[in-house]
Structure 1
Amino acid sequence: MPTGVAIRDPREQLFNAAERVLLRDGPSALTSRAVTTEAGCAKGVLHRHFTDFDAFLAELVRDRIARLDATALLTSAGSGVVSHHLTVALTDLFGSVAVAIVSLVISRDELRARLRRTTPTGIPLLTEAAAMLGSYLAVERELGRIDAGCDLHVLATTLIGAAHMLFADRTGTPPDGTAVRRVVDSVIVGALSTPPR
């Protein structure tokens, strides 16, 4: 006799449940029991697919890193306004679960240690997001819209850091597009070959 209903994609169901707990209650509330309760499954389901809870969390973070998609940003290169494209990319990034994921990574030593295998420096997710912005800025530099002497790594990481500060209070009202655009304009003003519009 079966003991329960088969779960179609248990990993994704558990990841989505973890995100909901993380967004609602914060990183300190994220336990294996909270995740499986939120997912509506037995605790054993998590341990059947992951060696331990930190392995689960590491895979959650890696999965969310893999979802970073630079396609729209790279496709926009050479058209429109650079600061607008960066504003949209940063708002999309930090308007998602990214701020909560960063808080989780910062709060758990074992999780950070595991993630160092794939992200040896920086904060996982933010490091990859900065690389995504850097790739876009490199294309814009090739097209002559970003100054040839600009340090793209510094520019991308400054944009990530400044935007993260805007979105970091997960309990407050997220900043609107105007606030994000003001920060982007301030950071990139010296890097643009032409002034922002």
Structure 2
Amino acid sequence: MAPTGVALRDIREQLFDAAERILLRDGPSALTSRALTAEAGVAKGVLHRHFADFDDFLAAFVLDRIGRLDPQAAALLETAGTNTVDANLTAALTGLFRSAAVAIVALVSYRDELRARLRDAWPAGVPVLTDAAIMIGRYLAAERELGRLASDVDTDTLAAMLIGTVHLLHADRTGTPPTTEAVHRAVTAVLTGAVRPGRRLP
């Protein structure tokens, strides 16, 4: 028999994965406790054995998915000085917004109680988007230090502009996701003012 800790981790992952599938497929309004347990293929009582209530589950789910940004942030930072800045950002932002990120933003916006539960961790800003902006900002700062962006670039503001612009491209959940080329055009447009004078986008 598996240790209790392993069993708990397994059931949490099973429920988290089911929640992500529902969000991506049907949107935040479809994510109910009944739909969740049906999607996960578990009895209704399982959810309440592991979480105080449904919003407790949702808060844990959001925090888990936000935690998955850490390896993405590390991987992006490692690309500093390689390839091109616009290509690195296009790949990172495309991967981010084709994950559950946009769906989680919609979920947090949709449920008042969930926002209240998350307030201690995020007293300001929007979960996922705030962390993504930090990730992009650190990467841009590294590129600035390497001389591939202008020395006076405000990397935090530029990161927020990139996140906001690409988020708008992905905001229509029911529509066709933007192509990589569309994301690249948006990234290039935002970066234009950050290119060092007299140089093309590196």
* TM-score calculated relative to the size of structure 1: 0.93
Q: Does 1:188 align with 2:198?
A: no
| Residue of structure 2 in register with 1:3 after alignment | none
| Residue of structure 2 in register with 1:50 after alignment | 51
Q: Which has the higher helix share?
A: 2
The runs of 4+ residues in structure 1 deviating greater than 6 Å are none
| Residue of structure 2 in register with 1:9 after alignment | 10
Q: Structure 1 8/145 Cα, relative in aligned 2: closer, same or farther at 3 Å?
A: closer
Q: Please state whether the residue corresponding to 2:169 is helix, strand or coil.
A: helix
Aligned-residue CA RMSD in angstroms? 1.4
Residues in 2 aligned to 1:103 and 1:28: alpha-carbon distance in whole angstroms: 9
| Residue of structure 2 in register with 1:125 after alignment | 128
What stretches of structure 2 of length at least 5 have no aligned partner? 1-6
Residues in 1 aligned to 2:50 and 2:149: alpha-carbon distance in whole angstroms: 46
| Residue of structure 1 in register with 2:115 after alignment | 112
Q: What is the percent sequence identity of the aligned residues?
A: 64
Residues in 1 aligned to 2:48 and 2:160: alpha-carbon distance in whole angstroms: 36
- C-alpha deviations, 1:74-131, integer Å up to 9, x for none? 1110111101100001000001111111110111111111112112211100000000
Q: Does 1:144 align with 2:144?
A: no
Q: How many residue pairs end up in the alignment?
A: 192
Deviation at 1:71, TM superposition (A): 2.0
Residues in 1 aligned to 2:21 and 2:180: alpha-carbon distance in whole angstroms: 24
Deviation at 1:46, TM superposition (A): 0.8
Residues in 2 aligned to 1:191 and 1:8: alpha-carbon distance in whole angstroms: 44
Q: Output the amino acid matched with 2:22.
A: V
| Residue of structure 1 in register with 2:35 after alignment | 34
